[in-house]
Amino acid sequence: MTKTLLRALAGETLPTPPVWMMRQAGRYLPEYRATRAKAGDFLSLCYTPDLAAEVTLQPIRRYGFDASILFADILLIPQALGADLWFVTGEGPRLSTITSAGDMAHFKGKDDIHETLAPIYETIRILTRELPAETTLIGFAGAPWTVATYMIAGRGTSDQAPAHALREGDPETFDALIDLITGATIEYLSQQVQAGAEVIKLFDSWAGSLKGDAFERYSLQPIKRIVTALKSRHPGLPVIVFPREAGDSYPGFAKAVGADCLALDTSVDATWAAETLQPETCVQGNLDPKLLVTGGQPLIDEAQRITRAFRGGPHVFNLGHGITPDADPENVHVMLDAIRSA
C-alpha cells in the first residue's frame, strides 16, 4: 500500500490523516540531546551522517510518525556558498553579512555547493535504508527570501529590517542574492531527491513580513521557480510549501507555485481553511506547539477539532510551527491518540 503521506499529497482524503511534526527531531527529546552532546556542536551533528540519521530516526522509533524529515538546517546553503556560519549556544545562528555588491563577489556558484553538502546527501542515503517501509522521507530547504534575511542580517531578526532595507535601498544586489540562493536551492534539493528524499518541503518562515508586490516577487516567484525546476527534473515529486503568516496570500498560493500541499501557521482558522484552501490543495497543520507544553484536555480538544475540521479533504496533521524545546514528549503521545480517536 502506498505510504499515507504520499496518498494525502496526491489529493486523497483519508479516514485518519498522516501525522508528522516540524522539528520532530530536536531538543525536546532526551535521546536527541544525548546524540548532540556526542557530536559536540550543532553543525557537527548536521555534517556527521551517522549521527544526523540517528536523530532523524529517534522520533520515528518513539512515536511512529508517518513521515520523517531530514535533520539539517536551512543555513547550510549559505555556508556551502561561502558564508561563514556558526551557532551561539542559547542564541542561535550567526553568519557573515551581506551589505553590498562587493560582498557577493566572495560566493561560489550554485554548482559548487555539493562538496560541502555531500554529508547531507549521505544522511539521506542512510535513512532510505533504515527508515520503516511505511515512513515517507521528507527533504527540505529554506525558501530564498527567508535564507536571504539571515544572510543579510547575520542572524535571525524580529522584523527582517536589514533585508527590507537592502531590498529597497540596493535592489540590484538584493535581486542577485535571491537569484543565487534560488539556483543553489534547486541544485541542493535535486541532489536530496536523487539521494532518496520522497517529498520536498520549502520553509518560507518570514514570508509574512513581505507585503503586496514584494510578497509576489520575493516569496511566491522564487518558490515557483524552485518547484517548477524540481518537478521538471523529478516528475511526480510532491512538494509542500510553508509561506508562514502569509495571511490573505494563502488562498491560491499552492496552485500559483505548483505545490501539492500548503502548510498553515497557527493563526489560520481550520474551519476557514477547510472551506477556502482545502478545495484547491492538500493542507498541512496547524496545532499550536504551545499545547505540547501545557498538554491536558485543551491539547486533546484542539487536536480533535483540527482533525475534524479537515476531515472532508486531503490533510496532513502537523503543527503550525516547530515543536519547542520545552515540550513534554508524553504530550506527543496524547496528541497522536487524540487525532486517531477524533
Is 125 marked active-site?
Answer: no
The active-site residue out of 28, 63, 73, 204 is 73
> Three-state SS across 4-37?
HHHHHHCCCCCCCCCECCCCCCCCCCHHHHHHHH
Kindly list the distances between the CA atom of residue 94 and the CA atoms of 132, 262, 267, in Å, as whole numbers in the listed order: 36, 29, 28
3-state secondary structure of 332: helix
The active-site residue out of 23, 167, 225, 244 is 23
The residues near 341 (Cβ < 8 Å, ≥ 6 apart) are 304
Residue identified by cell 529590517 is 161
Is 308 marked active-site?
Answer: no
Is 23 marked active-site?
Answer: yes
Which helix (H) or strand (E) covers residue 300, if one does? helix 296-309
| Contact (Cβ atoms closer than 8 angstroms) between residue 192 and residue 56 | no
Kindly list the distances between the CA atom of residue 99 and the CA atoms of 114, 219, 222, in Å, as whole numbers in the listed order: 26, 20, 21
Is 167 marked active-site?
Answer: no
The active-site residue out of 33, 36, 62, 305 is 36
The active-site residue out of 32, 47, 121, 150 is 150
Q: Where are the alpha helices (DSSP H) in 138-262?
A: 144-153, 161-169, 171-195, 213-215, 221-233, 253-257
The active-site residue out of 27, 62, 125, 305 is 27
Burial letters 320-336, b for 16+ CB under 10 A, else e: bbbbeeebeeebbebbb
Is 36 marked active-site?
Answer: yes
Kindly list the distances between the CA atom of residue 28 and the CA atoms of 25, 85, 87, 287, 330, in Å, as whole numbers in the listed order: 8, 24, 19, 17, 10
Residues annotated as catalytic (active site), given as ranges: 23, 27, 36, 73, 150
